[in-house]
Amino acid sequence: MMGALEGRVCAVTGAARGIGRAVALAYAAEGAIVYALDRLEDELPEPTDRLRPLPLDVTKADAVAEVFAEIESEAGGADVLVNNAGIIFFKPIEETTAADWDGLMAVNLRGPFLCTRAVAKGLKAKGKGAIINVSSNAGVRGGDNEAAYCASKFGIEGFSRALAVEFGKHGVAVNTITPGHPVRTAMSEITYGPENRKIWKDPGELAPAFVHLALQSPDGIHDRYIRAWDLAQELGEGRA
């Protein structure tokens, strides 16, 4: 699929590590102009002619507006937005402080809202594009000591279902995606036990699913909750 994203402009949040980094690199390899966004500025990928790293705290409204205005000025705005930035903690609800809750929601829900709002006008005007919101198993079922994280990911699911209705009529595909398999990331380093660590995959193995979703329209995969591992395997079998 080399060159599948030629001519596309892609913005990926949480691009310093893990899945976000793998997706940003895969998009660049497929010919896209990629803006790799993360507040961990020192860990962002090195710049290339197709990949531009930019520091961004997705919880800051002014910073988000400024970065996406820069993308608009330089490249005509994003055609593909991947809302990947996320954080997690495990605490019983009685031990979860208001600051804990607000901090997690700021990254996991406010960030996708701010970034989506920043690209909305441009995507609707273009009449094509894709929004990919990274979800989780915690977006479809509860987990022990995960009240805040589950609430944020259930929120992403509701947010995305509404966006699918709003953007679909403008030619923009909206989907949520979950890894669908244990993946080695900074987050999983603190959340996975020994059994999951035995089978975890490299984030790059999920990247083909993100490439495929970036190519979708409302007539294709749209308003869906996708398991990245399953889709990547299906795409691999199709090329065999």
According to DSSP, residue 135 is labeled: -
pLDDT for res 240: 41
Tell me: the pLDDT tens digits for 30-77?
999 999 999 999 999 999 999 999 999 999 999 999 999 999 999 999
Asked, for residue 181, whether it belongs to a domain, the answer is yes
Q: What is the pLDDT of residues 134-166, one digit of tens each?
A: 999 889 999 999 999 999 999 999 999 999 999
Whether the pLDDT of residue 199 is over 50: the answer is: no
Q: Tell whether 110 is covered by a domain.
A: yes
Residue 98, domain member (yes or no): yes
Residue 4 included in any domain: no
The H or E element containing residue 114 is helix 111-126
Is 149:88 a contact under the CB 8 Å cutoff? yes
Task: For residue 233, give the 3-state DSSP assignment.
Answer: helix
Q: Is residue 1 part of a domain?
A: no
Helical (H) or strand (E) element with 208: helix 207-214
Convert the pLDDT of each residue in 3-14 to its tens digit. Answer: 999 999 999 999
Residue 191 lies in a domain: yes
In which domain, by residue range, is 109 found? 9-239
**Does 232 reside within a domain?**
yes
pLDDT score of 188 more than 60:
no
Query: What CATH number does residue 206 fall under?
Result: 3.40.50.720
As annotated, the active-site residues are: 149
Specify the number of domains making up the chain: 1
In a domain, 119, yes or no: yes
Entry pTM:
0.93
Work out the end-to-end distance of the chain between its first and last CA atoms, rounded to an integer number of angstroms.
Answer: 13
Burial class (CB in 10 A: 0-12, 13-18, 19+), 206: buried
Instruction: Select the more confidently predicted residue: 239 or 100.
Output: 100
